[in-house]
Amino acid sequence: MPLTLTSPGFLSSLQDDLYFIAISSDYSGSTDLKYVFDVWVDGVQKIRSKVYPDPTTKRGYFDAGPIVRNEILYDWFNPYNDGTGPGSDASGNAVSILSIPGYNGEIGIQYDLRLGYELSGTTYINQVSGTNYAGNWAAPLYRRKQSPANIWDNKLRKYLTNRPKNITYNFESKLLIPFYNWNDTYTSNYNLKIRTNGSTGAYTSGYTFVNINNNPWLQLDIGALSLARTINGNTNSAYWQQFNSIEVGFFAGTTLRDSVFLKQVCSPKYEPINLYFMNVYGMYDTACFGLVSKLSLETERKSFNRLNKTFGNTSVTYYQDAGDGMVYNESKINFASKTNWTYKLTMDYPTDGEYQWLSELILSPQIYAELDGDYYPVTIKNT
């Protein structure tokens, strides 16, 4: 029985429906026909679903979204590159590229859909098959059912973020930001280069990233220390102070693909707290909270009661003589507690553009807070 399979668009959002449509050209009015959909990931069958044809269209409809969605790992956050990671060389430079996520459950998932059919009690599997790619990105509020290509075109070979181009951040902080390098016709000599904000002069010579050709997803750190190490291999703080107010351009050879404008805040009054969060494109952005932060806690306790008195031969006592004073008997003993720690963070008033972008922080599925050099998974509450 000839079958035809229609698949979702390339890199469709796995957060939405991923409908496959099956049709037989030899339907012939069969009353017991079922379409058989098998989903395979990394050579492992995840599900087999048998679907009756729609009585009107004669087609079988199958949504692979719930199955594929469970394959996303959320385990590839990496805030540090010691110089041996992707895009690096033996010199220990090029720490600006932190990760190059792939379709293995990081930026998305590669999966196979195998279509067969069941007729008169006999199952015929894998009559038609195809490899598909779904991305871990969230569709926008409006025009959310457009094809993925239209949504991604605006970010082609650009920084993969919705934050405004002008960024203020703390002098010693990391600044995680992704870049989308899909299908670039250029094949070598990718660079990060800098020049002073407002300058029309030439960019400084940059570092040539290696081993990133044909990799569309680049997770970058363009904080001052990372740039200093990447461009000159210099970690001296007096050197990277020159990155106070700069334009950071991503180049393919001599062609500028995109740039952002950075301004550092030096010696802030309060200790800044950075939140690194997964944005709507499935990669990590940075939100800096540089004003006062307040730590609070909520505690729930469980306890049991006992008598607060001791019965003796001639008296009933409520305390014990400790020599320097009396220790009264306790009538309630705490045996378990649950404590929730909460940080209330504050930043400078965001611009309208930053306000819209920060909504992605509220909705993000994964957020890390940097505290004393370590990174803790956190959840936003009371939004």
pLDDT value of position 378: 95
220 plus 312 within the same structural domain: no
361 plus 306 within the same structural domain: no
Residue 188: φ, ψ to 5°: -160, 175
Q: Residues of 303-341 as b/e, b for ≥16 C-beta within 10 angstroms?
A: eeeeeeeeeeeeeeeeeeeeeeeeeeeeeeeeeeeeeee
Taking residues 302-312, report their average pLDDT: 91
176 plus 283 within the same structural domain: yes
**For the domain that residue 127 is a member of, what is the CATH number?**
2.60.40.10
Domain total in the chain: 3
Q: Would you say residue 135 lies in a domain?
A: yes
243 plus 358 within the same structural domain: yes
Kindly tell me if the per-residue pLDDT of 237 is higher than 70. no
Q: Would you say residue 90 lies in a domain?
A: no
174 plus 196 within the same structural domain: yes
230 plus 188 within the same structural domain: yes
pLDDT digits (tens, 9 = 90+) for 144-176: 777 676 777 888 889 999 999 999 888 778 999
Q: Would you say residue 96 lies in a domain?
A: no
247 plus 337 within the same structural domain: no
| CA distance to 78, 104, 212, 312, per residue, from 87 (Å) | 14, 19, 6, 79
Where do we find the tokens 């050209």?
25
Q: Would you say residue 98 lies in a domain?
A: no
Q: Would you say residue 93 lies in a domain?
A: no
**Pair 59, 23: CB distance under 8 Å:** yes
26 plus 124 within the same structural domain: yes
- Of the chain, the end-to-end C-alpha distance in Å amounts to 54
> In which band, very low, low, confident or very high, does the pLDDT at 88 lie, cut at 50, 70 and 90?
low
Kindly tell me if the per-residue pLDDT of 186 is higher than 90. no
Q: What range defines the domain where residue 318 resides?
A: 294-341
Q: Would you say residue 320 lies in a domain?
A: yes
**Averaged confidence pLDDT in the chain:** 86
Taking residues 290-312, report their average pLDDT: 90
pLDDT digits (tens, 9 = 90+) for 28-84: 567 889 999 999 999 999 999 999 999 888 899 999 999 999 999 999 999 987 666
221 plus 363 within the same structural domain: yes
284 plus 252 within the same structural domain: yes
Q: Would you say residue 126 lies in a domain?
A: yes
Pairing of strands 284-289, 245-252: unpaired
Helix (H, G, I), strand (E, B) or coil at 232: helix
Residue 350 is given by DSSP the state P
Could you give the percent of the chain with pLDDT greater than 90? 49
Kindly tell me if the per-residue pLDDT of 143 is higher than 80. no
pLDDT value of position 261: 92
pLDDT value of position 4: 93
